[in-house]
């Protein structure tokens, strides 16, 4: 959420064009089936839920952008998050990738697997990481 708000603010201040992307993590779903945590029927149900989640988040993004008078594109993708985001950034020729989802506590184990970390490391452009900070909510409301 904070990354989205920051991106909308930045796009407004710099008259930049923003593309908001939501990736349905179908790779994680497949991994859960492979590891025996999900049965196939469950995977299908969760996949539907994740697509609904994506639509809801992207609708909300469009709503927030409209509130600020900023025009955005929304893109829904599926697959392994860092892989498809990297591809999208390349295809769009984006000059900045804005990421959220950084939490305070991290174990070494999770650091290695975090999609945010992977996106930071593999992005073909500069990356801005937005922390989950109350100040951004206040700034956005101003």
Least gap, CB of 57 to another protein (angstroms)? 9
Whole-number Å distance between alpha carbons of 73 and 91: 14
| Phi then psi dihedrals of residue 68, to 5 deg | -95, 5
Pairing relation of β-strands 72-78 and 18-24? parallel
Least gap, CB of 69 to another protein (angstroms)? 29
Least gap, CB of 32 to another protein (angstroms)? 6
Nearest to 115 by CA among 142, 91, 80: 80
- Contact residues for another protein (CB under 8 A)? 25, 28-29, 31-32, 35-39, 41-42, 46, 49-50, 52-53, 103, 105-110, 113-114
Nearer to another protein, 9 or 57 (CB): 57
Nearer to another protein, 11 or 21 (CB): 21
Least gap, CB of 26 to another protein (angstroms)? 10
Q: How many residues does the chain have?
A: 142
Nearer to another protein, 55 or 71 (CB): 55
Nearest to 83 by CA among 25, 4, 128, 29: 25
Nearer to another protein, 70 or 99 (CB): 99
Pairing relation of β-strands 97-102 and 127-131? parallel
Least gap, CB of 51 to another protein (angstroms)? 9
Nearest to 6 by CA among 100, 125, 95: 100
Nearer to another protein, 19 or 114 (CB): 114
């Amino acid at each position: 959420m904070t990354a989205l708000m920051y991106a909308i603010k930045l796009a407004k201040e710099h008259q930049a064009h923003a593309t908001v992307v939501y990736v349905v993590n179908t790779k994680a779903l497949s991994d859960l089936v492979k590891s025996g945590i999900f049965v196939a029927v469950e995977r299908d149900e969760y996949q539907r839920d994740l697509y609904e989640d994506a639509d809801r988040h992207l609708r909300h993004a469009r709503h927030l952008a409209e509130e600020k008078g900023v025009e955005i594109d929304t893109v829904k993708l599926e697959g392994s998050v860092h892989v498809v985001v990297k591809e999208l950034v390349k295809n769009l020729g984006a000059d900045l990738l804005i990421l959220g989802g950084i939490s305070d506590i991290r174990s070494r184990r999770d650091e290695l697997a975090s999609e945010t970390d992977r996106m930071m490391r593999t992005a073909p452009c500069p990356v801005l990481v937005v922390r989950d900070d109350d100040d951004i909510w206040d700034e956005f409301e101003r």
